[in-house]
Amino acid sequence: MGLSVTGFDANGRITPKGTNIVIPPESAGIGDLIYKSGSTIKVIGRGTASASSITIGGTTYTLYGCIYGFSSGFAMIVAPNGAETSAYWATSNSPTLPDGTPAYGGSTPLMRNGKKHTYVQMNTARNESYITKNDVSQPTDGLLTSAYQSTPLTAATFAASANAETKNRFGSWEEYIRQTLRVNGAPGTPFGAVAAGVKVHEFGRWMTKKLYAQSSSVFPAAKACYEYTGALGTDAAGTWWLPSMYELAELMIDAHLNKVNENSSLLSVSNSVDRWSCVRYSSGSAWFYLNAGMSNGSGFAGAQLAVRPVTLLKLS
């Protein structure tokens, strides 16, 4: 577990090179791995873990998950590769839904440019390649007048066609779309889904529990997450849940996902597959992360999409 300091990363953290580097829980960051032995955890620096089970001080710890964000004093944890499956959101497009579960229809997500649209950006790397319109006209304020279908610039034309104000404001094409099209996560949108008495960071757990209680067989995606018992097989049902769009949006931010995927041999998350959230779009459809890097909605039984459990964990 030797540590050789090579510098500092963009977050001011020491950049280590070594194997199974133990990080103090209070210093844990995005991309670091959580290992558990019973109720005891160890945080292992991103990209340094050697195996799914490691021995520290004579105790064997098993990979539990990876930190992909922080919310309200909790570390946001995504489960290891083996926990991922594919499933329908529901077994039909017209199931009996739990009372009080809200729906958030199309054009409700709010972007940082102040516009609302069904398609909002969740992963810049995937999203860049989607914006390919040939119209090189540019709004005078440097912001988009609509969403993707009316995007005025492509990566190829940005440098040549963007006005000076836009270049000064954003600097690069990547920053332009990252900052203007990125979701805002405001409450009342799929990315800030709430219910009475439920906070944004608690919505995924609340909604998954509601779906499971309604019918564990009718809602397969929620069932797969609710019944996941963790890498040690000891977690109580409901410890993990089907992520909300807020949680998927945090996971799919490039800077977050890139750090998670530094652990690619043990825990990685693909940005090129469709992923269900627990958030309803309508009475017969739900929101999901689209493999083009955006949000979208689909019929409950329209397709089997990727499902990966998430949880929240107090590190100290």
How far apart, in whole angstroms, are the C-alpha atoms of residue 80 and residue 230?
9
Identify the residue with better confidence: 146 or 208: 208
Q: Residue 127: is its pLDDT beyond 90?
A: no
Nearest to 207 by CA among 90, 290, 313, 296: 90
Structure tokens at 90: 């529901």
Give domain status of residue 160, yes or no.
Answer: yes
Residues 297 and 277 sit within 8 Å (Cβ to Cβ) = no
Mean pLDDT, to the nearest integer, of 130-148?
A: 42
Give domain status of residue 132, yes or no.
Answer: yes
Give domain status of residue 206, yes or no.
Answer: no
Give domain status of residue 156, yes or no.
Answer: yes
The model's pLDDT over 269-282, given as tens digits with 9 standing for 90+, comes to 999 999 999 999 99
Amino acid at 300: F
Question: How far is C-alpha 304 from the geometric centre of its chain's CA atoms?
Answer: 18
Give domain status of residue 280, yes or no.
Answer: no
Mean pLDDT, to the nearest integer, of 125-150?
A: 49
Domain total in the chain: 1
Give domain status of residue 157, yes or no.
Answer: yes
Residues 242 and 207 sit within 8 Å (Cβ to Cβ) = yes
Residues 40-52: b if buried by 16+ CB within 10 A, e if exposed: ebbbbbbbbbeeb
Single pTM value for the model? 0.89
Give domain status of residue 275, yes or no.
Answer: no
In sequence order, the β-bridge partners of residue 69 are 76
Give domain status of residue 93, yes or no.
Answer: no
Structure tokens at 239: 């410890």
End-to-end CA distance of the chain: 23
The model's pLDDT over 75-86, given as tens digits with 9 standing for 90+, comes to 999 999 999 999
CB atoms within 10 A of CB 71: 15
| Domain region containing 163 | 124-181
